[in-house]
Amino acid sequence: MSVNKVLIVYYSLSGNTKVVANKIREFINDQVQECDVLVLGKNSDYTNLNIEKYDLVFIGSPTYGTGNTPEYTLAFLRYILKYNNFILPSFAVFGTGDTQWANYTRAIDEIKYHLEKKTTVIDILRVEQRPVSVYQISKIKDFADNVIRRTYDC
């Protein structure tokens, strides 16, 4: 299977998750034919989204406070998993958080848990706050490359 169409869906309040989403897009851009981005938020409208046309979806979210998943992320998950009978592509989940909290990037675990009821989650990526270090950028690149490679192998 080749990866022709990819969707990157994310919610970002502070901008950290947006940085990761943009890096993923940058790293996969030359490996796929088409890459669309959907930013979740107050004015998001995904009711016309044909998620079935994608070979792969990256979904990202921050984790709030003591481990909460943002409502915009949960609303999107309800839309694709509960309110519709979509045949879902494979997913990769990424998120940002702060390791000072006990439930660091717990939103990733919640997203993965719900997605795995209906589809395959290829990989997950946890990123500490704003990814600016060479190590974190390298970690994002490795994640993106691994997801694309594993999608090809499916």
Q: What is the pLDDT of residues 28-84, one digit of tens each?
A: 998 899 999 999 999 999 999 999 999 999 999 999 877 889 999 999 999 999 989
What is the domain-level CATH number for residue 92? 3.40.50.360
Task: State pTM to two decimals.
Answer: 0.93
pLDDT category, 2, cuts 50, 70, 90?
A: low
- Count up the domains in the chain and report the number: 1
CA distances to 5, 68, 85, 151 from 72, in Å: 23, 12, 20, 27
The secondary structure of residue 133, as a DSSP letter, is S
Q: How many Å apart are CA 89 and CA 54, to the nearest integer?
A: 6
Q: How many Å apart are CA 37 and CA 34, to the nearest integer?
A: 10
pLDDT-wise least confident of 49-53, 101-105, 122-126, 137-141: 101-105
Task: Estimate the crossing angle of helix 71-81 against helix 106-115, to 10 degrees.
Answer: 10
Domain residues for the domain of 120 are: 5-153
What is the pLDDT at residue 153?
A: 64
Mean pLDDT of the chain: 91
Whether the per-residue pLDDT at 115 is higher than 70: the answer is: yes
